[in-house]
Amino acid sequence: MMITMAKMKKEAPITGITALKEEDFSTWYTELISKCELADIRYNIKGFVCYLPWATITIKKMYKKYEDLLEKNHHLPLIMPSLIPESNFHLEAEHVEGFAPEVFWVTEAGSSGPLSERLALRPTSETALYKMYAYWIRSYNDLPFKRYQSCQVWRYEGKMTRPFFRGREFHWIEAHNCFATEEDAKNQVIEDMQMTHEMLEEEFCIPIIFFQRPEWDKFSGAVHTYAADALMGSGKVLQLPSTHLLGQNFSKPFDVKFIDANGKEQYCYQTCYGPAISRIYGGMIAYLGDDKGLILPFDLAPIQVVIIPILVKGKEEIVLGKCKNLLDQLSTKYKVKLDDSDGSPGSKFYFWEMKGVPIRIEIGPKDIEKDQFVIVKRHDGKKLFVKQGDLNKKINEIAQNYTTEIKKKSLLDFEEQIEICHEIDSAKDAIENGKIVACGFCSIDMKGYHCAEVIEKDVGGLVRGKKVDEEKHEFASCIVCGEPSSCTVYIAKSY
Amino acid sequence: MMITMAKMKKEAPITGITALKEEDFSTWYTELISKCELADIRYNIKGFVCYLPWATITIKKMYKKYEDLLEKNHHLPLIMPSLIPESNFHLEAEHVEGFAPEVFWVTEAGSSGPLSERLALRPTSETALYKMYAYWIRSYNDLPFKRYQSCQVWRYEGKMTRPFFRGREFHWIEAHNCFATEEDAKNQVIEDMQMTHEMLEEEFCIPIIFFQRPEWDKFSGAVHTYAADALMGSGKVLQLPSTHLLGQNFSKPFDVKFIDANGKEQYCYQTCYGPAISRIYGGMIAYLGDDKGLILPFDLAPIQVVIIPILVKGKEEIVLGKCKNLLDQLSTKYKVKLDDSDGSPGSKFYFWEMKGVPIRIEIGPKDIEKDQFVIVKRHDGKKLFVKQGDLNKKINEIAQNYTTEIKKKSLLDFEEQIEICHEIDSAKDAIENGKIVACGFCSIDMKGYHCAEVIEKDVGGLVRGKKVDEEKHEFASCIVCGEPSSCTVYIAKSY
């Protein structure tokens, strides 16, 4: 399809990104956000930002991919009200305790003054949905009951906000499922983790590790929380989707029951899963970007191919004619832009590299003479000279391999970031050097809480949990207390 | 693609819709909503409902069609915060006056107590966006500046709520555009009306009339409001998308300026356009549905083809085998369901007719002997016997014509609903008989306000405005005051 990006504001970011990602991740990311026009932080409520078109287009594509996968896995979409009565929250004690400090409350409406009950802007929808699940689920025939919604949630974050990474309003998908048995629920958690790998690693090129979170860091009200951490260039991890085994913790207070095959009433086993698309977008651009700007998976780029005419006096017409033909031809399959605006070819190269357009085609009079096009790939800067007759084939080939190439590069980088440590001091050094530490640990149940506090204080990182897919366990003792180690945990700084 | 609707709850609505649409629209609509499982009104905040999967799937398809059209017409998507500081509202006096009675206010957050400023849940986003537009628009090169967002809005409605028609939270698209000249802005209004026709009439099969609303019924802050009214089966109209010429009413207080080609600072001319997808969905199902249940345009049906095996003892295997082959074959192109659940074929026919599935295929042992399939079209109940070899062709043909057939039927119905009146008494009769009245009227400026009040009181309908595309004007005098008529207006009851 031909793309018609009405007047992308190419003028504003005359200068590109100046900070180096390796040296100053934070400034680099801030420049990326503002110069690529991804978000505007000048909105006049703290912690709330505007998502600009270049980011929004990609986020919508990410939503589409995730929703398609959820539906393939038998989830049906629904749309819930975004307000939740305060009384719903109080039904599950741990949940309300966990979320109370983060809730925005609606207390007044119109000219009618105070409402009779405070209404929460949903920080998550368990307490809205499960009250309805009690109506919707009747018998074992209704199970498994799998639903999702794409929506925003609001959390009054105390931590520092940063566009896409952490904000007081963010955009996610939440899937909420009910099962007849605990085993079915556990299998759903496994499916959730598989979906996470399929989306984050395969589609969005973000390498992740799935951790079972320690008892003190799980979702309020869950039996267990399994969360994916991604490592950013900065040496800190970013929590990406998490899935929660809720057991019957919610089904009992919310009365989510079914009649089993023997006519007996039972409480459902539940799970919930919350991929935060806006945060995954932040993680993706932070992880894949380089000093020139954005790098995007091919499917997710708002513009996939940019055509840049090299105009020489007297040859403008022939060059532009060629460019327009090419635009028509490629637009049947890709999102293509012909940049025939004023400005030098060099500044256009620079601009569209910063925006992360995967393929650039340059066409000048010399190329036309030689019956060739110049193609440049954004992610590795490789330049190819392609005969006119081979162009379609070559573009298709690049399009097909582009995301895989990014993935290979990014997956390699990741393994290097883990450092095995046996002592607090070496762990501290590793964390200071921007690594993730793997070490022995006494327990991720509450009895390990004290050791985790020591790690936070003395090592400078957080215990992220134990790896879900780790079979062997290498460490004899806990890195803190020296007691027998029950598992390998990973320590990292986090956003 | 093969559709896997995990356990659609077929058990619940054993009995179909009992009310007759013609006789009792209101009960019919309520039954449609509940028996087809479109929305659940039991959510425990007044005026807020849950949208169930069958409705959500269609609503998502409607969003996609609308967004594609907006993007084709050079709108770029963005995502704005849903909260708006109270101070933003106060910048445009008419706007705040109009919306103040409808705003939900966030006044508290977390445990930090009252916020320093009340935050509105957006009832519409002018006052959020235009503050940002003042940053984003610099020069004439940035114009036209066309943006949209798909989001929900909240309005504390005093009127009675009804699922999809009117609720305190609804889902819409809002497009907000800026131009250098008033003429450009007026052309945008025309484009908005064209888009409305293209979507509502062509895609969603809802006949509409576009009215310029009277001065007393326009959007708060607008110069003019143009709104589409659709006639429901009930004799009442439903306001569907409206587009507003804002002129410089907002650009001045919000400081949305640009430097023109001569280097001079100018205020932008603005328009905004708000198709409420959830309401359009309500209008569509209400308008197209019949006593059996839903009728849906082919593209918008969550399931497009349902295959129903007619099982006879001893022949189950051969029939089911045939059904499964057909499922695989048709699923490459359509959303297909094989209903091999328990239950009689008759009850399945009934159920899927109620759900509005456009094509039903029946396969029994006799059909297999005769090398044929039975196909039934939902919207007109026509039954076809199709040879196996012709099936694909026939299905494609039905799929292609289905929506056009609905459209023809529904457009014809509409013209019949308008009645030309010259006197209050005949107008009153017409309104009582569920018609729209066309009549002469003195003025849709404020000087006609008194006559409109008389019409509301004595005729029992509202002056919807003058038709945008009406060229000739048939009436000599105002139906109320007898003064010379300046235009033909239309009177109707409304939701």
DSSP for B409-465, please give it.
HHHHHHHTTEEE-SSHHHHHHHHHTTPEEEEEES-SSGGGHHHHHHIIIIISSEEEE
Q: How far apart are CA A422 and CA A208, in angstroms?
A: 23
Sequence-distant (6+) residues with CB within 8 A of B207 are B201, B230, B231, B287, B410, B411, B413, B414
Residue B259, helix vs strand vs coil: strand
- Confidence (pLDDT) at A355: 98
The verdict on A359 touching B (C-beta cutoff 8 Å) is no
B-chain residues near A12 (CB < 8 A): 138
Q: How far apart are CA A316 and CA A318, in angstroms?
A: 6
| Amino acid residing at B43 | Y
The verdict on B160 touching A (C-beta cutoff 8 Å) is no
Q: What is the 3-state secondary structure (H, E, C) of B346-376?
A: HHHHHHHHHCCCCEEEEECHHHHHCCEEEEE
CB-neighbour burial class of residue A332 (10 A; exposed 0-12, middle 13-18, buried 19+): exposed
Closest Cβ opposite residue A60 in set B4, B52, B77: B77
Question: pLDDT tens across B4-16, in order?
Answer: 444 444 444 456 8
The verdict on A14 touching B (C-beta cutoff 8 Å) is no
The verdict on B261 touching A (C-beta cutoff 8 Å) is no
Band the pLDDT of B231: cuts 50, 70, 90: confident
Q: How far apart are CA B96 and CA B99, in angstroms?
A: 5
Structure tokens at B337: 């369901």
- Confidence (pLDDT) at B412: 62
Q: What is the 3-state secondary structure (H, E, C) of B83-143?
A: EEEHHHHCCCHHHHHHHHHHCEEEEEECCCCEEEEEEEECCCCHHHHHHHHHHHCCEHHHC
| Nearest chain B alpha carbon to A132 | B43
Q: How far apart are CA A60 and CA A81, in angstroms?
A: 21
Q: Which of B104, B150, B152, B303 should one mutate to test binding to chain A, selecting the residue with the greatest count of A CBs within 10 A?
A: B104
Q: Which residues pair with A239 in a beta bridge?
A: A229
DSSP strand E in A268-387: where?
A: 269-273, 305-309, 336-338, 359-363, 372-377, 383-387
Sequence-distant (6+) residues with CB within 8 A of A358 are A296, A298, A301, A304, A305, A377, A378, A379, A398, A399, A402
Q: Is there a contact between A115 and A107 (Cβ–Cβ < 8 Å)?
A: yes
Inter-chain residue contact B103 with A82, CB threshold 8 Å: no
C-alpha pair distances (Å), A382 with each of A359, A363, A374, A413: 10, 16, 10, 20
The verdict on A381 touching B (C-beta cutoff 8 Å) is no
Inter-chain residue contact A81 with B50, CB threshold 8 Å: yes
Could you say which residues from 30 to 49 on chain A have a Cβ atom under 8 Å away from some Cβ of chain B? 40, 42-45, 48-49
pTM above 0.90, yes or no: yes
Q: Sort strands A83-85 and A257-259 into parallel, antiparallel or unpaired.
A: unpaired
Q: Which of A11, A14, A50 should one mutate to test binding to chain B, selecting the residue with the greatest count of B CBs within 10 A?
A: A50
Chain A nearest-CA distance from B145, in A, is 8
How do the pLDDT tens digits run along chain A, 495 residues long?
444 444 444 444 456 899 999 899 999 999 999 999 999 999 999 999 999 999 999 999 999 999 999 999 999 999 999 999 999 989 888 888 888 889 999 999 998 789 999 999 999 999 999 999 999 999 999 999 999 999 999 999 877 889 999 999 999 999 999 999 999 999 999 999 999 999 999 999 998 889 999 999 888 889 999 999 987 766 788 889 899 999 999 999 999 999 999 999 999 999 999 999 999 999 999 999 999 999 999 999 999 999 999 999 999 999 999 999 999 999 999 999 999 999 999 999 999 999 999 999 999 999 999 999 999 999 999 999 999 999 999 999 999 999 999 998 876 666 778 899 999 999 999 999 989 999 999 999 999 999 999 999 999 999 999 988 777 778 999 999 999 999 999 999 988
| Amino acid residing at A48 | F
Could you say which residues from 59 to 98 on chain B have a Cβ atom under 8 Å away from some Cβ of chain A? 59-60, 71-72, 74-83, 85, 87-88
Chain B nearest-CA distance from A288, in A, is 23
Structure tokens at B317: 């295997």
B-chain residues near A254 (CB < 8 A): none
Q: Is there a contact between B384 and B375 (Cβ–Cβ < 8 Å)?
A: yes
Q: Which residues pair with B244 in a beta bridge?
A: B225, B272
Instruction: Tell which wins on pLDDT, B328 or B235.
Output: B328
A-chain residues near B133 (CB < 8 A): none
- Tell me which DSSP letter residue A388 carries: G
Q: Which of B3, B41, B44, B178 should one mutate to test binding to chain A, selecting the residue with the greatest count of A CBs within 10 A?
A: B44
C-alpha pair distances (Å), A477 with each of A455, A484, B281: 15, 4, 62
Closest Cβ opposite residue A156 in set B9, B74, B110: B110
Residue A487, helix vs strand vs coil: strand
- Confidence (pLDDT) at B413: 64
The verdict on B111 touching A (C-beta cutoff 8 Å) is yes
User: Concatenated DSSP letters for A224-262?
Assistant: EEEEEEEE-TTSEEEEEEEEEEEETTTHHHHT-EEE-TT
| Nearest chain B alpha carbon to A112 | B101
Q: Is there a contact between A395 and A359 (Cβ–Cβ < 8 Å)?
A: yes
First to last CA, chain B: 38
- Confidence (pLDDT) at B232: 76
Could you say which residues from 113 to 142 on chain A have a Cβ atom under 8 Å away from some Cβ of chain B? 118-119, 121, 128, 131-132, 135-136, 138-139, 141-142
The verdict on B143 touching A (C-beta cutoff 8 Å) is yes
Q: Is there a contact between B361 and B374 (Cβ–Cβ < 8 Å)?
A: yes
The verdict on A56 touching B (C-beta cutoff 8 Å) is yes
To the nearest whole percent, how much of chain B has pLDDT over 70? 96
Closest Cβ opposite residue B103 in set A77, A110, A128: A110
Residue B481, helix vs strand vs coil: coil
Inter-chain residue contact A108 with B109, CB threshold 8 Å: no
The residue to which tokens 């020591």 are assigned:
A454
Sequence-distant (6+) residues with CB within 8 A of B93 are none
| Amino acid residing at B373 | F
Q: Which of B5, B67, B79, B277 should one mutate to test binding to chain A, selecting the residue with the greatest count of A CBs within 10 A?
A: B79
Q: Is there a contact between B261 and B255 (Cβ–Cβ < 8 Å)?
A: no
The verdict on A2 touching B (C-beta cutoff 8 Å) is no
Of A21, A43, A73, give the one whose Cα is nearest residue A196. A73
Q: Sort strands A383-387 and A359-363 into parallel, antiparallel or unpaired.
A: unpaired
Residue B69, helix vs strand vs coil: helix
- Confidence (pLDDT) at B48: 97
- Confidence (pLDDT) at B112: 77
The verdict on B385 touching A (C-beta cutoff 8 Å) is no
Q: Is there a contact between B115 and B106 (Cβ–Cβ < 8 Å)?
A: yes
- Confidence (pLDDT) at B159: 79
Q: Is there a contact between B388 and B190 (Cβ–Cβ < 8 Å)?
A: no
Of B89, B90, B117, B137, give the one whose Cα is nearest residue A46. B117
To the nearest whole percent, how much of chain B has pLDDT over 90? 82
Q: How far apart are CA B134 and CA B119, in angstroms?
A: 21
Band the pLDDT of B2: cuts 50, 70, 90: very low
Inter-chain residue contact A85 with B142, CB threshold 8 Å: no
| Stretch (H or E) spanning B493 | strand B487-494
DSSP strand E in B184-279: where?
A: 208-212, 224-231, 236-247, 257-259, 265-267, 269-273
| Stretch (H or E) spanning A172 | strand A169-179
Q: Is there a contact between B294 and B282 (Cβ–Cβ < 8 Å)?
A: no
- Confidence (pLDDT) at A2: 45
Phi, then psi, of A369 in degrees rounded to 5: -55, -40
- Confidence (pLDDT) at A469: 79
- Confidence (pLDDT) at A161: 87
Average pLDDT, chain B: 92
Sequence-distant (6+) residues with CB within 8 A of B147 are A53, B75, B76, B77, B78, B129, B175, B176, B177
Inter-chain residue contact A82 with B169, CB threshold 8 Å: yes
Helix axis angle, B53-72 to B182-196, nearest 10°: 140
Inter-chain residue contact B6 with A45, CB threshold 8 Å: no
Rg (CA), chain B: 26
Helices then strands, each counted (H, E), chain A: 14, 23
The residue to which tokens 């250098």 are assigned:
B180
Chain B nearest-CA distance from A152, in A, is 9
How many other C-beta atoms are found inside a 10 Å radius of the C-beta of residue B97? 12
Sequence-distant (6+) residues with CB within 8 A of A251 are A130, A178, A257, A267, A268, A269, A270
Band the pLDDT of B233: cuts 50, 70, 90: low
Chain B nearest-CA distance from A220, in A, is 16
Of A376, A300, A353, A360, give the one whose Cα is nearest residue A326. A360
The verdict on A1 touching B (C-beta cutoff 8 Å) is no
Structure tokens at A387: 């005969």
Is a pLDDT exceeding 80 seen at residue B472?
Answer: no
Closest Cβ opposite residue B100 in set A82, A111, A143: A111
What is the dihedral sign for C-alpha B85, B87, B88, B93?
positive
The residue to which tokens 């989707």 are assigned:
A241
Q: Is there a contact between A364 and A310 (Cβ–Cβ < 8 Å)?
A: yes
Write down all domains in chain A, each with its CATH number in brackets: 25-288 (3.30.930.10), 298-402 (3.40.50.800), 418-494 (3.30.110.30)
HSE of A82 in the Cβ direction (CA atoms, 13 Å)?
31
Is a pLDDT exceeding 80 seen at residue B242?
Answer: yes
Inter-chain residue contact A107 with B108, CB threshold 8 Å: yes
Q: What angle do CA A415, A201, A462 make, to 5 degrees?
A: 55
Q: Which residues of B331-347 are buried (b: 16+ CB within 10 A; e: fewer)?
A: beebbbbbbbeeeeeee
What is the dihedral sign for C-alpha B264, B267, B271, B272?
positive
Q: Is there a contact between A84 and A129 (Cβ–Cβ < 8 Å)?
A: no
Closest Cβ opposite residue B79 in set A51, A102, A128: A51
Inter-chain residue contact B11 with A136, CB threshold 8 Å: no
Q: Is there a contact between B202 and B226 (Cβ–Cβ < 8 Å)?
A: no
Closest Cβ opposite residue B152 in set A82, A105, A147: A82
